[in-house]
Homo-oligomer: A and B are copies of this chain.
Amino acid sequence: MAKQLIDARTLKGFRDFLPDRMMLRESILETARRVYRSYGFAPIDTPALELFEVLAGKGSEETDRQMYHFRDAGDRHVGMRFDLTIPLARFVSQHSNELGLPFKRYHMATVWRGEAPQAGRFREFMQCDFDTIGTTSIVSDIETVLVVHDLFAAIGAGEFQIRVNNRKVLTGLLNRLSLAEHSTVILRSIDKLSKIGDEAVVGEITDQTGCPIDVAAEVVRLLSVTGSCREILEQLPAIAAGDPTALAGVQELEQLVSGVMAAGVSESRVAIDLRIARGLDYYTGTILETFLTAHPGIGSVCSGGRYDDLTQMFSKNPMPGIGASLGLDRMIAAMEELGLAPTQQSPVDVLIVQFDPALMTRYLQLASSLRAAGLAVELFPEARKVGQQFKYASRKGIPLVIVAGPEEFAGNRVEVKRLSDGLQTGVSTAEGSAELVTWIRKALAEPGVA
């Protein structure tokens, strides 16, 4: 009565994380956690499933269409979260009495979108959001940029640039050119400037708004100012041309940039870029995108901005805030393409070869003493051929191997070897494992000779 075997496969658009990628993910999450906390952001979590009515109609038409939703066993219409912003709005509204304002939270969690699968797009991915809720102070804008800065400086994906803009500058500009009623359409077009180029965007704006081509060209021209932050800030009042909204945006940009610089951020890492529009989002002030210098083509890896009212769907009290979101999977993809993703399949520092099962007690004690010193130690579970155990270590990317048989233990010493270059030595364990730990730490820190 043989059972039918089931094909072991993942759903289309979904994927497994093997140890190499998962260790990279854990490392980035750990970095984000540390940086977010260092600025006073506290972690929260919300359910993967929410009532459909909580999620529907809050994002775009696209997110509604892509949402996984169904009726549960209790006939409730439920949906899987497709971002962390709507759950935050629900959370803040529900717990407003307990939280106290300002409320600074981070939330690093999985979201689901039934997108058409394509290269680098998945139906399940992680977002790492941080937001400051309940204040309009420019301090929060400055800190948002500082958090992104510290995060990218710590992740180790090379140089980066945070490009900032202010929606008020864009809105004021469109007001002045009598294009305010078309702002949604135009902001979406502006977002495409880096992808499809100036001419195509001018064409799109004239097509979609019916405005004269020279007006559309003027929009694109005004947004194309380049230079250092200081140089652009000097030109901005002329671009704002007396429009009070635009001028307010210019002033916020000035305060933002000077605050960020005062906190010690290098000028090369922050740019004012009027072409950043974030057209699909409901931002009202500061907006930002972040690009990896070595891989600009992958697009913004961390984006965000200021909004006037997070909770309008749930509450009559306006709740302003600002936040940004690290696209963890895009970051990992970039690091893979840049050759910065590790290939090690194991967190282990040193493998203890099981040479003789009769020495089990000694192996267990040796492993314990090394773990007590903070090392990650694997004891091979079977007394297979030494060559096979070395091969196992090598395949998993374990850097060091300890070999000890009856002779070594009798002489209170072990042999330890670095696999990358064959560096090998006998180390005494007569007075405990301190000497061995020192050798291991040094061998792990020194780059091996290729």
- Whether the Cβ atoms of B371 and A39 lie closer than 8 Å is yes
Q: Which residues of A from 29 to 75 have beta carbons under 8 Å from B?
A: 33, 37-51, 53-54, 68, 70-74
Copies of chain A in the complex: 2
B47 adjacent to A124 (CB under 8 Å): yes
Q: A15-B47, A378-B39 are in contact. Are A100 and B365 (CB under 8 A)?
A: no
Residue A185 at the B interface, CB < 8 A? no
User: Across the interface, do B11 and A49 meet the contact criterion of CB distance under 8 Å?
Assistant: yes
Q: Is A16 an interface residue (CB 8 A)?
A: yes
Interface: A12 (CB within 8 A): yes
User: What 4 new A-B contacts, CB under 8 Å, besides A5-B316, A42-B347?
Assistant: A26-B33, A74-B114, A143-B379, A264-B365
A275 interface residue per 8 A CB criterion: no
Contact of A18 among B11, B44, B47 (CB under 8 A): B44
> In this assembly, does A104 line the interface, its C-beta being within 8 Å of a C-beta of chain B?
yes
Q: Cβ of A379: which chain B residues have Cβ within 8 Å of it?
A: 40, 139, 143
A118 at interface by CB-CB < 8 Å: no
Is A445 engaged at the interface, CB distance under 8 Å to the other chain?
A: no
Question: Which of A33, A346, A395 has most chain B Cβ within 10 Å?
Answer: A346
Q: How far is the CB of A153 from chain B (nearest CB, A)?
A: 11
Whether A315 sits at the interface, judged by CB under 8 Å, is yes
Complex contacts, A146 vs chain B, CB 8 Å:
364, 368
Task: Give Cα distance in the complex from A11 to B264, angstroms.
Answer: 45
Determine if A442 is an interface residue (Cβ-Cβ < 8 Å): no
Contact of A48 among B54, B70, B112 (CB under 8 A): B112
A45 shortest CB reach to chain B, Å: 4
Q: How far apart sit A368 and B260, CA to CA, in the bound complex (Å)? A: 11
Minimal Cβ-Cβ distance residue in B for A71? B70
Cα–Cα, bound, A237→B354 (Å): 30
Number of interface residues of A (CB under 8 A): 106
When chains A and B are docked, how far (Å) is the Cα of A90 from the Cα of B51? 30
Of A91-99, A159-167, A212-220, A401-409, which binds chain B?
A91-99
Give bound CA distance, A45 to B3, whole Å: 28
Interface status of A377 (Cβ within 8 A of chain B): yes
Neighbour of A396 across the interface among B25, B68, B100, B351, CB < 8 A: B100
Q: Nearest Cβ in chain B — how far from A432, in angstroms?
A: 13
Nearest chain B CB to A71 CB, angstrom units: 8
Cβ-based interface call for A333 (8 A): no
Contacts of A193 in B (CB 8 A): none
Smallest Cβ-Cβ distance to A368: which chain B residue: B263
Asked if A140 is an interface residue, CB under 8 A from chain B, the answer is yes
Whether B361 pairs with A72 at a CB distance below 8 angstroms is: no
Give the complex CA separation of A320 and B396 in angstroms: 20
